[in-house]
Amino acid sequence: MSRRSDNEGQPSGIRRSDFLRGVASVGIAAGLSGAVSPASAQDTPPASKTGASPKPATRATRDVNALYRQGLPFDDTRDFADARRGHLGSLPEPVIIRNSDGVPVWDATAYDFIKVTESDDAPDTVNPSLWRMAKLNMIHGLFEVVPDGIWQARGYDLSVMSIIRSNTGYIVIDPFISQEVSKAVWQGLVIPKLGDKPVVAVIHTHSHVDHYGGVRTFVTDADLAAGKVKVLAPEDFTRAAVSENVIAGNAMSRRASYMYGNLVGKSPTGQVDGGLGKTTSTGTIGLVVPTDHATKTGETITIDGVDLNVIMAPESEAPAEFMFYIPKYKAFCAAEDATHTLHNLYTLRGAKVRDGLLWSKYLQQALDMFGDDMQVVFASHHWPTWGNERVVAFLKAQRDMFRFIHDQTLRMANTGMTPREIADKIRLPPTLAVQWSCRSYYGSVYHDAEAQYNLRLGFFDGVPANLYRRTPVDAARRYVAFMGGADNVLRQAKQSFDEGDYRWVAEVVNHVVFADADNLAAKHLLADAYEQLGYQAESGPWRNFFLTGALELRQGVTKLPVPNTASPDTIRAMPIEMFFDFLGVRLNGDRAAGLTVAFNLELTDTKEKYVLGAENAAIHYSKDRSLPDADASIVMTREALNDVMLGTTTMEKQIVAGKAKLTGDPKKLSSFVSCLDTFDFWFNIVTA
């Protein structure tokens, strides 16, 4: 089998034939090739340390972006009409939502450079397809979805908050990321426009923070205890919500700062959109353990006179997710499984790979169960689609898109193709590629295909040379030496840059940068290549990754304040065993070599007992046990342990304060604690 790419010899532009076959990435056919981010989404980074400013789009980039204009139906403006439909009002301009300290957690004025017109007026530095989505996501306010029945608040966070009228009040679906945002929208829009009625329930469609973080606006502990409000979520919601940001949370959050473009500023040469929404709000995140769970496809859950017909969708867009049909309003809530974009089958911030096959099957279930009746479909991002014919066509396209990527990836894998070969070759069929809702604003065909390979076959592509590779720095130094030294590589790479072959420039010059992080000429050339790749990107996260990489190559890592993503609500909801698992991740194997310890832990308020130990540089624990010969025993409340887990104090300080009682050898506990790593958030990504 030949492994020659059909893009070989085509370094500088997308071929029109390739585009019409379904390019759904950032110029894949040219060889150019969607958690909350920790850094403030509203922060503007400080001035460049090197004096390097963003550069204009090159001729090659302008040519690539022109092909999107030729290949996509920009005269189809129905999405603009749908995004404006039912508009009841907006928050007063300028839209700036602040926290209790007066710091903006949502600042729409940062995007004043984007004017909402239906014309194709993208600047040269933004892919015109992404620019179109950036304008659609600027449309904000409270919108009627079903007359006197369902509404949505859009344009105030990455996600959308939906509202259902029930017999005695409201049911809130997915209350944004931040409490400040949900409170401002509720008090400033919902109550004035719809009336002040009680919230009888909050629904979390799935376990990502942009769909539960603002819950504390509507739910207090007193309300829960009194049974005044229900919190409905899919089965296993709490564990999924807490765990995704714990075990690999530091790396995931650092990469999220790239994915959402929080460091590059908002401008035509910076962040313009997140693909699913403008960006992430940065306020207070809450989490309430659900009172009720959806557990079975086909069940009907009734909340204050409103029936919800359930479709469970685990391991689709989130580990715990469900969709539902509302017969009373002939409306289908697709959660995040059918939005106006090709979604992520792998998110660039890092998370479990998602199953496109399951995703497709869930959408088929929705069509089978409710397709004849539904008159509107709404989701946790973007705007609704109305009318049975359009709704069914929309869901079929989403169904077929995910199924196509999964099945064609595995078809090609079964012929012996490797992940990168598959990603470079796969194209959506033209019938899907020209549909706006199938474009790559958040995910991309390229990385979604690689994800499906990894899902079924793992990281190894079967090529023995890739089984035992050199480390990036070691390999880079050897590559540069083989290629005749850094000066020779850069001379040739500059020629490739002038030819518009930015993907190749990025690959070869990255070796020079990893071989010598002090080579300024290499860093600046690599930054220039990343920048042009970002300007060409249709995917918001791809653009943000490339532009953030360029920024850090030019300026270095700029350390901004890092908020604590492990909120008190999250820590309180965390199973103690998950905390032990995280201690295992923090245990430094080298320092813990030879350490053997065992501790008894008793939590008096939750009546839990554990033996926690370390041996052979690994953690182990057992529930409902205690050892008579343990090195030390600790008795405390879970509340006191929560403060330790939040990082606001230490176990030693809790013991001194009398909030924990220690018997046994305190030196053993100190020895164990000394073996735990504390992770630096601002680790290098674009340099070694």
pLDDT digits (tens, 9 = 90+) for 455-511: 999 999 999 999 999 999 999 999 999 999 999 999 999 999 999 999 999 999 999
> Fold match between 67-457 and 575-673?
no
Tens-digit pLDDT profile for residues 186-206: 999 999 999 999 999 999 999
pLDDT of residue 602 exceeding 80 = yes
Pick the more confident residue, 48 or 634. Answer: 634
Model pLDDT, residue 29: 25
Percent of the chain with pLDDT over 90: 87
With cut-offs at 50, 70 and 90, classify the pLDDT of residue 44: very low
**What is the third-level CATH fold of 67-457?**
Metallo-beta-lactamase; Chain A (3.60.15)
- Interval 337-362: pLDDT, tens: 999 999 999 999 999 999 999 999 99
Closest CA to 332 of 301, 276, 378: 378
What would the two tokens of residue 221 be? 């502990």
Per-residue pLDDT band at 15 (split at 50, 70, 90): very low
pLDDT grade for 565, boundaries at 50, 70 and 90: low
What predicted TM-score, i.e. pTM, was given to this entire model? 0.92
Kindly state the DSSP code that residue 299 receives in the 8-state scheme: -
Residues 112-116 have a mean pLDDT of 97
For residue 612, what pLDDT is reported? 97
Please give the CATH number for the structural domain made up of 575-673.
3.30.1050.10
| 140-170: pLDDT as tens digits | 999 999 999 999 999 999 999 999 999 999 9
Highest mean pLDDT among 15-19, 36-40, 598-602: 598-602
Q: Which residues, at least 6 apart from 678, have a Cβ–Cβ distance to it below 8 Å? A: 586
Residue ranges per domain, the chain? 67-457, 575-673
Q: Which pLDDT value is given to residue 16?
A: 44
Percent of the chain with pLDDT over 70: 92
Residue 28 pLDDT > 70, yes or no?
no
Residue 302, Cβ neighbours under 10 Å: how many?
A: 9
Q: At a CB cut-off of 8 Å and minimum separation 6, what does 482 contact? A: none
Q: Strands of 44-173 (E only): list them.
A: 87-89, 96-98, 104-107, 141-146, 150-154, 161-165, 170-173
Q: How confident is the model at residue 563 (pLDDT cuts 50, 70, 90)?
A: low
Whole-number pLDDT of residue 559: 85
Is residue 249 a contact partner of residue 681, using CB atoms and an 8 Å limit? no
State the average pLDDT over residues 166-180. Answer: 97
Please spell the DSSP secondary structure of 355-391, one letter per residue. Answer: -HHHHHHHHHHHHHHHTTT--EEE-SSS--EESHHHH
Return the bridge partners of 309, or none: 300, 325
Distance of alpha carbon 538 from alpha carbon 505, whole angstroms: 20
Average pLDDT of the residues of the chain: 92
Task: Identify which of 139, 135, 145, 196 has the alpha carbon closest to the alpha carbon of residue 173.
Answer: 145
Confidence tier at 427 by pLDDT (50, 70, 90): very high
Say if residue 515's pLDDT is above 80: yes
DSSP 434-474: T-GGGS-SSS-HHHHHHHHHHHHH-S--S-GGGTSPPPHHH
- Measured CA to CA in angstroms, residue 229 lies from 215, 226, 342 at distances of 11, 8, 35
